[in-house]
Amino acid sequence: MTEATSVATINTDVVIIGGGVMGASIALELSKAGRKVVVIDKGGAAGAGSTSASSAIIRFTYSNFNTILMAWESAQYWYDWNNFVGVQDPDGMAKFVKTGYLVFLTEGYDGIRQRELWDQFGIPYEVLSPEEVRKRWPAFDTGKYYPPKSIEDPAFADDPYDQLSALFDPLSGFMDDPMLATHNLANAAKSYGAEFLFHKEVVQINSNNGAVTGVTLKSGEIFNAPTVINAAGPHAAKINRMAGVYDEMKVHHQPLRQEVFSPPAPVGFRLEDNAPIVADLDLGQYFRPHMGDLLNVGTTEPACDELHFIDDADDWNDSVTVEFFERVMLRLARRLPDFGVPLKLLGIGALYDVTDDWIPLYDKSSLNGFFMACGTSGNQFKNAPLVGKFIRALVEAQENGIDHDVTPVEFVGESTGNAINLAAFSRLRTQGVTAGNVMG
């Protein structure tokens, strides 16, 4: 007698691949709208993927109208997080830490366009002279060293040849715990009936006659759904290839290996010193104060640093390297002269999912019912609350017979009343002017 093997087949309205901050936000919006949502994640917990490594900076310095507007609108939700989520998480709620954000004005970034756009949305800011910067935060060396150099370059040690002014916005900050914020979203989605399944890997996207029909898992289980959303973070390009939609995209995306460090903060640059988040394109770095008298430090992909794009998001080194550590720490010591370079490698390796123009992909695809929220390019944690709303708008448009490729969906921001044109995040977009790095 042969034993029949039965494979579970489950029917649902929506499958979301990935339970990071994007998948959890989308799950909340779609389950709130009355849909039966299943989130499938091959990891062990909500937000345990690239979200867990995030610096979680909430800022409004972007290159164009739509991207700034999106960040500004999303910030309003982070400021009022408990109300936005709407459900108290028994494990605690993430918190916004307001620090302000200081961008040094240097070659290639004079802040003029930024200020014009901020004026349109009423985002407050100050322009500070080098003296004003040092008066407010004596920990800074405001020297101009541009362009960023590798530490092997003898010119790295040159004295500054000028002084830097800066643009300061007082309303930026960071979320204290990006994984907890994701847990908060997942917890709220569950209260509307969403299911989160962990340690389950999607290995196939199923379709019929040009429309998605669901997914198959490594375990053999099949989930049938007319709507499937790719929120797989650095694995998203792999999922788009699985769905057969990658080649039709005009903007492509790929995992990029990064390292971020958490050394002790010097006195004068801790949270209690009112230290701001700093974007320092002059030296090719960003940093911010963190709880526990630490700093959080990363790079802004200066031209002198090689970019480490990788082919397989399942096969990479997640430890920090001495080479990267030394480079980042010595750059930081130029800007904060009292910073003592630590003797231990304190940091983590992580992956961004980077698009050709460093602007994300929030879109439908050529496969009916298959959507994507990916290509977040190391700068979209801050926009997660709106991404759920965007994807809901795109799903509803498709169901109403609107082809977003032809008639772009607009989303009117609740805070500003301005329309955000979702064509800005289309996979078919013509690439405009962007920062070309993590600044977006």
Ligand X SMILES: Cc1cc2nc3c(=O)[nH]c(=O)nc-3n(C[C@H](O)[C@H](O)[C@H](O)COP(=O)(O)OP(=O)(O)OC[C@H]3O[C@@H](n4cnc5c(N)ncnc54)[C@H](O)[C@@H]3O)c2cc1C
How far is the C-alpha of 342 from the C-alpha of 340, rounded, in Å?
6
99 is a site residue for ligand X (CB under 6 A): no
Binder among 103, 167, 260, 281 for ligand X (CB under 6 A): 260
Which of 143, 378, 385, 388 is the binder for ligand X (CB under 6 A)? 378
- For residue 104, list its beta bridge partners: 166
Q: Does 202 bind ligand X (CB under 6 A)?
A: yes
Q: Decide if residue 290 touches ligand X (CB under 6 A).
A: no
Could you tell me whether strands 294-299 and 222-224 are parallel, antiparallel, or unpaired per DSSP bridges? unpaired
- Residue 233 makes contact with ligand X by CB under 6 A: yes
Helix (H) or strand (E) holding 128: strand 126-128
> Residue 54 or 398: which CB sits closer to ligand X?
54
440 makes contact with ligand X (CB under 6 A): no
* Joined tokens for residue 310: 């990788």
> Residues 57, 85, 265, 332: which binds ligand X (CB under 6 A)?
57
Helices H / strands E in the chain, number of each: 9, 26
- 26: amino acid identity, one letter: I
Q: How far is the CB of 125 from ligand X (least distance, A)?
A: 19
C-alpha closest to that of 393 among 378, 413, 375, 377: 413
CB of 257 to ligand X, least distance (A): 10
One-letter amino acid identity for 421? Answer: N
Whether 167 and 105 have beta carbons less than 8 Å apart is answered as yes
Cβ atoms 362, 394 nearer than 8 A: yes
Taking a C-beta distance cutoff of 8 angstroms, is the pair 189, 31 a contact?
yes
| Closer to ligand X by Cβ: residue 19 or 263 | 19
- Sole window of 42-50, 134-142, 246-254, 303-311 interacting with ligand X (rule: CB under 6 A): 42-50
Give dist(CA 285, CA 263) in Å, integer. 14
Candidate list 17, 167, 281, 395; residue touching ligand X; CB under 6 A: 17
388 contributes a contact to ligand X by CB under 6 A: no
CB of 212 to ligand X, least distance (A): 15
The residue among 208, 222, 233, 252 whose CA lies nearest residue 368 is: 208
379 binds ligand X (CB under 6 A): yes
Q: Does 177 bind ligand X (CB under 6 A)?
A: no
CA-to-CA dists, residue 6 to 188, 204, 290, angstroms: 33, 18, 51
Report if residue 49 touches ligand X, rule: CB under 6 A: yes
Strand blocks (E) in 250-316? 253-261, 277-280, 285-290, 294-299, 308-309
Q: By CB under 6 A, is residue 265 in contact with ligand X?
A: no
User: Near ligand X by CB under 6 A, which window of 94-102, 232-240, 301-309, 325-333?
Assistant: 232-240
Total interface residues for ligand X by CB under 6 A: 38
**Least separation, in Å, of the C-beta of 385 and ligand X?**
11
Q: What angle do CA 57, 133, 337 make, to 5 degrees?
A: 80
Residue 267, number of CB atoms within 10 A of its CB: 11
From the list 55-63, 89-97, 155-163, 204-212, the region that binds ligand X by CB under 6 A is 55-63
Stretch of 1-9, 19-27, 321-329, 429-437 contacting ligand X, by CB under 6 A: 19-27
Site string for ligand X, 323-352 (x = CB under 6 A): ---------------------------xxx
**Interface residue list for ligand X (CB under 6 A):** 17-23, 40-43, 48-51, 53-57, 201-202, 231-235, 258, 260, 350-352, 376, 378-382
